Amino acid sequence: MIEKKIEKFLSSYLETKKIKNTNWSITKNVKKGFGDYSSNIALVLGKISKTSPINIANEVLDHNKDKTLFSVFITEPGFVNFNVELDYYINNLSTILKNQKKFGKPTSKTQSANVEFVSCNPTGPLTIGHGRQAVLGDVISNILSWHNYKVTREYYYNDPVYDTSDLNDDGVVDNPGQILYHVPTRTGQKDQFNFNYGISATLSFPLDGGLQARCKKSVDSRIAHVQQLTANKRLDFEIARLKNCGELMKAGIMFHPKSKYAAICSDVVLVNPPGVVGQHQHTISPSSSSSSATSSLEAFLNSLIPPPKPFISSGIFLPPKSSKTAARITRICVVPIAIITKSNKTIYN
């Protein structure tokens, strides 16, 4: 894009000088000190006009009135060099951000195009080659769509030819279902033409493009199926690793920490199953003296058992009709109880 502007600037210089010559060129520099772009226009014109290339280069330098795009300087023996100004890139970035996907998009062209690609057989297995063709064909179709082409995607499908031979004439096919070969068949089109811009492709005006859409759907389903199988295998591996590492850890077997295989079980944690209490112990500190324990026991027992004292039961009288008129008083005595501690000290007697 900037090269077009430099070319336009040099062409305007030639028009000013009324010189007709198109044998000069513009090249992009990769070495420092020679600018972003260089032109040999002064060398070519100097050879024709028998004039010093430096003098012509100075005239080109003076011709540059607008320095917002690039600055011009000269190097021996007469190269005209251009340094692109930073404002040019900033303005371009602003334009790109403003237009987004429409930046550089042409506004004309309403032609139709049909891109033939993939050519997979919906009844047969898909290969990596089909995926590659799908990517290339889809990219070409997107580029044409971006250039305002009305694109229809189309492909060949392999129409199978089956073995229908009946050598023994029994009315039954000898090899039912056996495919002898495939016939490449188009999905339908009314015109086609070829082009080559580094990548060859066939464009045609389609009648039917539905099979290509079904083929892409089949590819997506196959990819999803393979991804799921891979995920299942990964899950099986992780569960087996967890189980084996746990059993080895319970048995006290593990890799040395410095071993390169120690990381295999580094994220496995061994815990007790629910409801199972692991091995543990409790420590009970002995009391400081036996006397304190004894006194504590005395106080506890005294609070439960009142001090003993003899008593006489209430008088028991015979019924009034009894021949005995005197009441018999019965004395009841309670036998005291003696409590002795392990130290043979009598606490209660």
SS (H, E, C) 301-344: HHHHCCCCCCCCCCCECCCCCCCCCCCECCCCCCCCCCEECCCC
Q: What is the pLDDT of residue 232?
A: 92
Whether the CB-CB separation of 96 and 46 falls below 8 Å is answered with no
Structure tokens belonging to residue 91: 């303005």
Beta bridge partners of 205: 191
- Give the mean model confidence (pLDDT) for residues 287-292: 56
Bigger pLDDT: 73 vs 213:
73
pLDDT at residue 348 tops 70: no
Contacts of 195 (CB under 8 A, 6+ apart): 201, 203
At residue 235 the predicted structure's pLDDT band, cuts being 50, 70 and 90, is very high
The chain-wide mean pLDDT, for the chain, equals 75
Residue 1 reports pLDDT greater than 60: yes
Residue 70's DSSP bridge partners are: 84
Out of 57-71, 78-92, 224-238, 289-303, least confident range: 289-303
Count H helices, E strands: the chain?
7, 12
Q: At what angle are helices 2-17 and 53-63 packed, to 10 degrees?
A: 110
Residue pair 163/175 in contact (Cβ under 8 Å)? The answer is yes
Q: DSSP alpha helices (H): ranges in 156-289?
A: 210-250
Contact between 168 and 192 (Cβ < 8 Å): no
CA distances from 229 to 90, 123, 235, 237, 330 (A): 50, 22, 10, 12, 100
Contact 37, 29 (CB under 8 A): yes
Domains of the chain: 2-89 (3.30.1360.70), 112-212 (no CATH)
Strands 112-116 and 79-84: unpaired
pLDDT band at residue 308 under the 50/70/90 scheme:
low
Q: Does residue 179 contact residue 163 with C-beta atoms inside 8 Å?
A: yes
Mean local confidence (pLDDT), 27-53: 85
Separation CA 69–CA 86 (nearest Å): 8
Phi then psi dihedrals of residue 260, to 5 deg: -70, -10
pLDDT (tens digit, 9 = 90+) per residue, 158-207? 677 888 888 888 878 888 878 887 777 666 554 444 455 556 555 555 55
User: What is the per-residue pLDDT across 115-139, written as a single tens digit (0 to 9) for each?
Assistant: 887 766 555 666 777 778 878 888 8
Q: How far is CA 18 from the centre of its chain?
A: 63
Higher pLDDT, 135 or 325: 135
Cα torsion angle, 250, 255, 260, 262, sign: positive
Q: Is 26 within 8 Å of 7 (Cβ atoms)?
A: yes
Give the separation between CA 40 and CA 176, rounded to whole angstroms. 75
**pLDDT for the residue numbered 23:** 82
Instruction: Between 9 and 349, name the one with better pLDDT.
Output: 9
Residue 310 has pLDDT above 70, yes or no: no
d(CA 35, CA 71): 9
pTM summary value:
0.35
d(CA 172, CA 186): 32
Q: How far apart are CA 225 and CA 216, in angstroms?
A: 14
Element (H or E) spanning 296, and its range?
Answer: helix 290-304
- The C-alpha atoms of residue 74 and residue 70 are separated, in whole angstroms, by 13
Q: With a cut of 50, say whether residue 337 has pLDDT above it.
A: no
How far does Cα 77 stand from its chain's mean position?
57
**Is residue 97 helix, strand or coil?**
helix
